[in-house]
Amino acid sequence: MITAESTRKGHIFNIQRFSIHDGPGIRTTVFMKGCPLRCVWCSNPESQDFHPTLLVRDINCTGCGACLKVCPEGAITLTGETGRTIDWSKCTHCLRCVPACLYNSLNACGTSMTVTEVLDEVQRDEDFYRNSSGGVTLSGGEPLWQSDFVSSLLQACKARGLHTALETTGFSSWRQFSAVLDHTDLVLFDIKHLDPEMHRAFTGVDNRRILNNLYKIAGSTRIWLRMPVLGGINDSDEYIREMAALAKKTGAERVSLLPYHEGGKSKSAQMGRPYTFSQGIVPGEDRLKRIKDLLDSQGVTATIGH
């Protein structure tokens, strides 16, 4: 039956099947487009904008010139010496160049889908969810900033008997957050940094609203805390003890350690953006084990990469 909820549309930039890192079991992760944070280490910078964005893969460019002929802003030039160049200050992401490119060199990131369209995709792997105690995870971007769509999608998943999880930065109004909780079995709550000023320096916002929302949901739903491990920034023993205290205070079932990697560097280049996290240090295996052991010693279950 067609309803207003089933035809509601959301902006999505990826649907990843057979995911094993975004909650229990085998899952399908639906990545919502748009995020109010600007984490300097972001591994998916293409998720940040709330509108479709252009991604450029120069390695596939043949220099045919079809893209520059359709660009209304004159943002694309082509020379024999430098090849194709995009003036990002002129690009409006109208995406007219994408269908003109026949070599997968120009791509659009982000599309509009209805609840029914996403659910049809999700249901393809229903047997895998049931056999592995898996389900569906809504991630981002920040899914709470599309709370009406996300709530409708999660409700539809629950109607199918699917386990649901929400991965969130927690940076939203309480109205947005509370709208999805009735249909959410597990919240994967990202903690970028516990210090408000450090949080603002690295993400563009402080963490007061985030922590307030975390405390509000504590005790009413299952929580896994997720922590990006940033070498030299949030991996000291003192900081890890503070994370353990937060986990115990909020009743979190575990802390998932997500080691920093430089995957966002190449994606930023594809969007014509600088990658500014020059101080990023990839934590080694010994340091990750030390952090896990320290959390375990504080009575907090910790996992690496999950």
Q: Tokens representing 25?
A: 């079991």
Q: Which residues of the chain have pLDDT under 50?
A: none
Altogether, the residues listed in the chain come to a count of 306
Q: Which of 181, 154, 171, 265 is nearest to 213 (CA)?
A: 171
Fold of 9-49+110-304: TIM Barrel (3.20.20)
pTM of the entire structure? Answer: 0.93
One CATH from 3.30.420.40, 3.30.70.20, 3.30.70.270, 3.40.50.300 for 53-109: 3.30.70.20
Amino acid at 237: D
Give percent of the chain with pLDDT exceeding 70: 99
Q: Which residues of 244-274 are buried (b: 16+ CB within 10 A; e: fewer)?
A: bebbeebebebbbbbbbeeebeebbbbbbee
Q: What residues does each domain of the chain span?
A: 9-49+110-304, 53-109
